[in-house]
Chain A
Amino acid sequence: MNTSPNHERHATAPGAIDDEQRGEFSRRKVLGGAMAATALVAAGPINSSAYGASADPDSDPYMMAFLVLSQALTGIRIINLAPEFAPDKNNPGVLNADPGTDPINVKNDYFKWINTSDPAIFEKLLQIAREHSTSASDIINGVNASDDTRFLARSITLLWYLGSWYRPADLKSAPPTGKLLDSTVVSAKAYTQGRVWQIAQAHPMGYSNMQFGYWSRDPKDPKTPDPLNFISATIP
């Protein structure tokens, strides 16, 4: 039970940039007494490019563009990425909605992380999302049109799914046999907010909010299709 022979091991150290990114990031306070993300000026990852970061997670339109992009890429409804998301009755259109602030607010963490890593291409992706905000498939086609957006889109998808950051350049150069790539766990919070586990109708290993005995029961009535209402191609 102790060691799996199928886990390859290499004793190399993580890349320097990852260390810096994570080191800075983990000093950001997880919500304790502090409530809204607005109150905190986060120390984000070190800016790895010369492009000045102008995308602002606290600006609702920017965040909504990010959420639209995220739903398109992950297939997960916005409400499950941003639990306090609410359409604006006076201002219809998903890009005008209120992304909301929830106690966990992982969307803000991710926005800042991505924006620090690759702000120029992030902006391109947000623009694609803005231009096709009603069609997930158009957004997907748009991001796949060129390599820079294609691979950052994949990094973002992996970020939502796993809470880990895989650099676009590494994804691009990965061989098809899939030698596993270097990655960085963004934070303890991000790990526990990984969505792939919910897609598998489970929970992150090491983070279950369920109760004794749940594992002996089917997670859902097999007769009910997607009772989670978790996945949808229709934005939001």
Chain B
Amino acid sequence: MRYGHRFAIVVATAASLAGLVGWPTPLLAETPARTPTQVAGIGECNILTDPFAPELGPFAFNLANPTSPLPDTIDPAIKSRITASGLPCQDSFRPAGPEDSGLEDLQHGFDFFSWLSFIAWNSPADPAVTIDRSQPDMQTRWENMDNFKQLLDVMLDSQSSPPRWPTDQNEMEKEKVRLLPPVCRALYKPGMMVVKMIEESYNEPFKTGPLIDQQGHYAIFDILMNRTMFDYISAHHLFSKAGQQSAENFELAVDFPPGQNPVDAKPDAAHPQKAVVGDIGAVMLKVSWKILVPDEIKARNFHMVNALVSMPKVEGSKADPPCLQETLGLIGFHLVHKTVSRPQWIWTSFEHIRNVPDKDEVAANKFSEDRYSFFASKCDGRCPEINATPPRPWTPDPALQLRFRKDDSTKSQIVRKVPLTQAARNMNKLFHIVLKDTVWENYMLLSTQWPSDFNCTSQKVDFQRQPDMTCSPAPTFLANSTLETYSQAEDQGGVPLATSSCIACHGNAVSFQKNPDSEAKPTAGQLRTNQSDFTFMLEKAP
């Protein structure tokens, strides 16, 4: 298979699997802010275990078309291997495995990569607790301010700019407090998550609509970046329009550092920012939250966070919108990781199992869950239209405090149009056994979208990436029911460019950079100067 020719095959043996050594701790205080050329820290990520290693037992089986039923229990040795495997630095799979086709083998590998990443990031921030003994309300690693920063704490107005990301815990806390909305100050306590809402926090991408839960509340969205992304943005002054448009960035082709396995070789002259040891590389998150009601808090089925949510400013109003104290439940999790082998990034999407049913369940009127957050299975023939956007106005009314309407009558009725594949379901089943009796067994992987045309990345010119210049994403379409609710593939199948596809859509992302010469004296095949490396974050710069 041609995949084999194109990338470094790194197959980990059981012996080389390392547990996670430890996350940066406050003991690293006083080290200067990292620049992209510095080392991220040995042990922050690991060489990915071979998904088809026989030691992994059922994880290495054919999951798309299993030859025998999957087990209900998993050997404890395999379990602890999984929970301790840590964050993969990069992907590296062979297209030769137990599945029926090379493409399915790779999908299996990427889905395994996604799950391990999910476990790594959602493990408790407290290194003493492993994920299999975590509680629903424990702060996760990604929620820790040492690991991820929210987009709105980077794209600051000119008075608060530039953003800072110290390495010292106290300094980090100070920066967080500095950026608190004034109305939240009185309510804030250290450790609380603070979600500052803008339009994109309640209105899905490109204004496709808000999502309203069964209690009549808005779902809330947030975007975060890791240090590698932050360092790059900071170093190149991309956190403001003026910075993006300055002369130093005329020639800059935005290229976030990729994750890669520890390599013993010398640094790659062509990519000086590649670390010589394992580097996580750029990671970005998009998460969706539900406002939990007392019953849900008690039931402890969602990963929960004690949060302050400051509502979006109302156009034309001078009043400060309220800051609300809410318990947020995690309902959707997009994890996007750039690796040296996938410069179009790897796009992982998870959801809570009780968000929505899929269309087969609806057609058969047989639901796997007894209730859903965004679907009413019993509505006495007066069910709202499926996947319809709510009626306008969509802007949250401060007086209603994140309720969509006064009377809670509007609720989204959402159905997943593309059911999970059998392979994904089976992998979820296995991981749920590992995560049994933790809140994380309530989260499932939808799929992983990854660029399948490996020849794509070595080409220099736009047109040389054939036949698909976004490098043939696999699967072609992918939508999370809470984050791309209204752009799902309809019954006639996915429509190119219109139906949600992570890579196809993010491939359109550009920044505000200009190159005054590029139009006057264009070079044939020149790299564009305002692409923003598959992230829309840069266009949020003020």
Contacts and interface: CB of A to CB of B under 8 A. Distances in A.
Q: Do chains A and B touch in the complex (CB under 8 A)?
A: yes
Contacts of A221: 461, 524-525
5 contacts: A31-B494, A32-B417, A103-B473, A219-B463, A220-B524
B471 to A, nearest CB: 9
Contacts of B100: 36, 38-39
A128 B182 CA distance: 78
Contact of B518 (A201, A213, A227): A213
B466 A228 contact: yes
Interface residues of B, number: 60
A216 interface: yes
Contacts of A189: 493, 496
A110 interface: no
A227 B460 CA distance: 10
Contact of B468 (A104, A195, A222): A104
A76 B505 CA distance: 28
Interface in B432-490: 446-447, 452-453, 455, 461-464, 466-470, 472-478, 489
Interface in A1-45: 26-36, 38-39
Contacts of B1: 84, 86, 98, 100
Interface stretch (A137-145, A149-157, A166-174, A204-212): A204-212
B524 A218 contact: yes
Interface stretch (B13-21, B116-124, B185-193, B526-534): B526-534
Nearest to A230: B466
B522 A216 contact: yes
Contacts of A29: 493
A199 B100 CA distance: 34
B493 A35 contact: no
A37 to B, nearest CB: 8
B142 to A, nearest CB: 26
A190 B322 CA distance: 51
Contacts of A207: 496-497
Q: Which 9 A-B pairs have the closest CB atoms?
A: A30-B493, A218-B524, A209-B469, A32-B418, A103-B474, A86-B2, A36-B101, A217-B522, A33-B421
Contacts of B452: 83-84, 102-103
Interface in A184-236: 188-189, 192-193, 195, 198, 201, 203, 206-207, 209-214, 216-222, 227-228, 230
A211 B525 CA distance: 12
Contact of A104 (B107, B462, B467): B467
A75 to B, nearest CB: 14
Nearest to B107: A35
Interface of A: 26-36, 38-39, 80, 83-86, 98, 100-104, 188-189, 192-193, 195, 198, 201, 203, 206-207, 209-214, 216-222, 227-228, 230
B393 to A, nearest CB: 32
Contact of A35 (B467, B474, B529): B474
Contact of B419 (A33, A102, A188, A216): A33
A214 B102 contact: no
A228 B101 CA distance: 28
B453 A101 contact: no
A71 B424 CA distance: 36
B103 interface: yes
A218 B525 contact: yes
B475 A32 contact: yes
B68 interface: no
A84 B421 contact: no
B528 A213 contact: yes
A189 to B, nearest CB: 7
B475 A213 contact: no
A228 B464 contact: yes
Nearest to B446: A33
Name, among A36, A216, A219, the residue most crowded by chain B CB atoms within 10 Å (CB to CB): A36
A227 B446 CA distance: 38
A33 B101 contact: no
Given A39-B64, A213-B519, 20 more contacts: A31-B474, A31-B475, A32-B477, A35-B423, A38-B100, A39-B65, A83-B452, A84-B1, A84-B2, A102-B474, A103-B103, A188-B496, A189-B493, A206-B497, A207-B497, A209-B469, A213-B530, A218-B524, A221-B524, A221-B525
A217 B525 contact: yes
Contact of B476 (A98, A104, A195): A104
A220 B461 contact: yes
Nearest to B489: A32
Contact of A80 (B107, B424, B467, B496): B467
Given A101-B101, A189-B496, A212 B528 contact: yes
A85 B1 CA distance: 8
Contacts of A36: 64, 100-101, 103-104
A220 B462 CA distance: 9
Contacts of B152: none
B494 A32 contact: yes
B462 A210 contact: yes
Contacts of B529: 213
Contacts of A83: 452-453, 455, 466-467, 472
A211 B495 contact: no
A35 B496 contact: no
Given A211-B528, A218-B525, A80 B466 contact: yes
Given A33-B421, A35-B104, A217 B526 contact: yes
A25 to B, nearest CB: 10
Interface string B80-105: 00000000000000000000111110
B472 to A, nearest CB: 6
Contacts of A39: 64-65, 100
Contact of A188 (B424, B474, B495, B525): B495
B494 A30 contact: yes
A32 B473 CA distance: 11
Nearest to B453: A83
Contacts of B461: 219-221, 227
A102 B463 contact: no
Nearest to A214: B462
A209 B64 contact: no
Contacts of B423: 35
A16 B417 CA distance: 30
A219 B462 contact: yes
